[in-house]
Amino acid sequence: MRYTANEKRYDSAEYRKCGESGLKLPAVSLGLWHNFGGNADFENMCKMCFTAFDNGITHFDLANNYGPPAGSAEENFGKILREHLSSYRDEMIISTKAGYYMWQGPYGDNGSKKYLTASLDQSLKRMGLDYVDIFYHHRMDPDTPLYETMWALDGIVKSGKALYIGLSNYDGETMKKAAKILKELHCPFIINQNRYSIFDRTVEKNGILKSASDAKLGMIIFSPLAQGLLTDRYLGGIPADSRVRTDGRFLSERSISPEVIEKIKKLNEIAKNRGQTLAQMALSWVYGKNGVTSVLIGASRPEQITENLKMVNNTHFTEEELKAIDAIAL
Q: How many CA atoms lie within 13 A of 321 on its CB side?
A: 19
pLDDT confidence of residue 144: 98
**Dihedral sign for Cα atoms in the order 278, 279, 282, 285:** negative
pLDDT confidence of residue 36: 98
Strand, helix or coil at 168? strand
Residue 252: is its pLDDT beyond 70?
no
Residue 68: asked if its preceding bond is cis (omega within 30°), the reply is: yes
pLDDT confidence of residue 224: 98
Residues 162 and 120: beta-carbon distance below 8 Å: yes
| pLDDT, tens only, 198-246 | 999 999 999 999 999 999 999 999 999 999 999 998 887 777 666 555 5
Whole-number Å distance between alpha carbons of 280 and 273: 12
- Could you give phi then psi for residue 137, rounded to 5 degrees? -85, 125
Measured in whole angstroms, how far is the alpha carbon of residue 319 from the centre of its chain? 28
Domains annotated for the chain, with CATH where assigned, are: 15-238+279-315 (3.20.20.100)
Confidence of residue 160 (pLDDT cuts 50, 70, 90): very high
pLDDT confidence of residue 254: 67
The one-letter code for the residue type at 302 is: P
Residues 182 and 165: beta-carbon distance below 8 Å: yes
pTM of the model: 0.95
Provide the mean pLDDT of the chain: 95
Least confident of 71-75, 260-264, 281-285: 260-264
Which of these, 223, 213, 212, 226, lies nearest to 263 by C-alpha position? 226
Strand, helix or coil at 194? strand
CA distances from 119 to 89, 98, 130, 151, 257 (A): 22, 6, 14, 16, 39
The one-letter code for the residue type at 79 is: K
Residue 260: is its pLDDT beyond 70?
yes
Helical packing angle, 302-309 and 42-54, nearest 10°: 20
Whole-number Å distance between alpha carbons of 189 and 167: 8
Whole-number Å distance between alpha carbons of 67 and 92: 21
* Percent of the chain surpassing pLDDT 70: 95
The one-letter code for the residue type at 120 is: L
Q: How many CB atoms lie within 10 A of CB 127?
A: 23
Helical packing angle, 258-273 and 319-329, nearest 10°: 170
Strand, helix or coil at 59? strand
pLDDT confidence of residue 234: 84
Residue 247: is its pLDDT beyond 60?
no
Residue 106: asked if its preceding bond is cis (omega within 30°), the reply is: no
